Structure 1
Amino acid sequence: MAILYHHPLCPHSRFVRLVMGEYGLDADLVEEKVWERREPFLHLNPAGTTPVLVEASIPSVPGADVIAEYLDETRGLALGDRRLLPEAPRDRVESRRLTSWFNQKFFDEVSSHLVMEKIYKRFMPTNLGGGAPEMAAIRAARSNIRYHLKYVGYLIRQRNWLAGDRLTYADLAAAAHLSVVDFLGDVPWDEDETAKSWYARVKSRPSFRPLLADGMPGMQPSLTYANLDF
């Protein structure tokens, strides 16, 4: 059995969990509090970030993008139309471009700030950076998400899924990051109905169900979070 070191509200971890769910892969989930910088975990990933996948065939696969490539190389070719990285080079480029957009740009501008300020800091001791959230960072993230949501709507008005006609890594990366922000109630869904309809499609997939069951002690998700008809 594979092991996935993750945090329930880490968007990169959620991306990998969605990928594994779409591929029908099981893993033992081990929650990792990255701020503790445990030495055994740092041996698996010196960067000290989640997620990290460990299988018997390979010691450790660190990072969401590396894991996604690894799973495509080891499982994707046999999956035909269920493959999440398209076969055509042009389509692969677009899927990778948009996956990077959400795993890097959206993360840097939106989800990293909200997760740190509104979630991680609640559970971090003060000597490791815990404490009151920085409201300026939260306001910036809430402002930035608006143009990302418009971009999702723009893409879906041109295509069936974000990167083309089929569900790809791009959709799962975007949905993973938005799911964390939606948990916190910070997605302005009323500003783009097209983006909202696309997210509802992804959210209704069986791979998404475990994410909707996630929670954190002392924190209640938003009213829209687990509602498929939000």
Structure 2
Amino acid sequence: MAQLYHFPLSPFCRKVRLSLAEKRIEVKLEEERYWEQDPEFLRRNPAGKVPVLRIDGKLLTESAAICEYLEEIYPEPSLMPRDPEGRYEVRRLVSWFDDKFHSEVTSKLLYERVNKKVMGRGFPDSGNVKAGARAIKYHLDYMAWLLDQRRWLAGDVMTLADFAAAAHLSALDYISDVDWNRSEVVKDWYAKIKSRPAFRSILADQIPGFPQPPHYADLDF
């Protein structure tokens, strides 16, 4: 069985978990307090980051690279289009959420509200929280613009781009930092992806000291 060393609210880990689940690859989740820089963990990944996936006798790191590996070795069901333009658009949007959205929103909201407390690194920076709350509106509007033209974020079928976005938004939704009333089309998109069997383990996450909000696992939120 594959093993995934992860942290439950990490969007990068969640993206890999969603890919594994969608492809029906059985995996054992091992929660990793990566910030403690345990020597055994550093031997698995000298970069000291999660996720780390042990599969097929290999240790894989970096979430985007892991997901593309899974796509090549386990091609069905596919999470990448077959045409170059479609693959480019998926990669562009994965990068958008893992880089731009992460920098402007996830790191300002989730990391300030949750990670600092869990890691014992002090109190949230109110300036960062306010900046993240402003920035997420822009990103939700951009998603709405995309979804007004497409059934899914990158085109007419669900792809890794949708999982990348859902990974970040689901982590933020755990702390009630997503205004689902801002866009009906984005809310409908999230309802579709949230209802997939691949999402079940994500909705079952429980973080000590941070209880789930009532709507988090509700498919009719």
The TM-score with structure 1 as length reference comes to 0.93
Q: Match of 1:114, as an amino acid?
A: L
Q: Distance in 2 between matches of 1:121 and 1:27?
A: 28
Q: Distance in 1 between matches of 2:9 and 2:138?
A: 22
Cα shift at 1:115: 2.4
1:88 alignment partner in structure 2: 83
Aligned partner (choices 127, 152, 158) of residue 143 of structure 2:
152
Q: Distance in 1 between matches of 2:25 and 2:153?
A: 24
Q: Match of 2:113, as an amino acid?
A: K
Q: Match of 2:102, as an amino acid?
A: F
Q: Match of 1:102, as an amino acid?
A: F
Decide whether the 8 Å contact of 1:10 with 1:115 is kept in 2.
no
Post-superposition CA distance 1:88-121 (Å, at most 9, x none) = 1111001111111111111111112222211122
Post-superposition CA distance 1:153-194 (Å, at most 9, x none) = 111110111111111000001001000111110111111111
Superposition pairs for residues 10-21 of structure 1, below 5 Å?
Answer: 10-21=10-21
Q: Alignment partner of 2:116: what SS? A: helix
> Which runs of 4 or more aligned residues in structure 1 lie more than 3 Å from their structure 2 counterparts after TM superposition?
none
2:117 alignment partner in structure 1: 122
Q: Distance in 1 between matches of 2:130 and 2:26?
A: 37
Q: Distance in 2 between matches of 1:71 and 1:112?
A: 27
Decide whether the 8 Å contact of 1:5 with 1:50 is kept in 2.
yes
- What is the number of residues matched between the two proteins? 221
Aligned partner (choices 119, 127, 132) of residue 123 of structure 2:
132
Provide the alpha-carbon RMSD of the alignment. 1.1
1:55 alignment partner in structure 2: 55
Q: Match of 2:97, as an amino acid?
A: F
Unaligned 5+ segments in structure 2 are none
Q: Alignment partner of 2:186: what SS? A: helix
The TM-score with structure 2 as length reference comes to 0.97
Q: Give % identity.
A: 47
Q: Alignment partner of 1:191: what SS? A: coil
1:66 alignment partner in structure 2: 65
Q: Match of 1:20, as an amino acid?
A: L
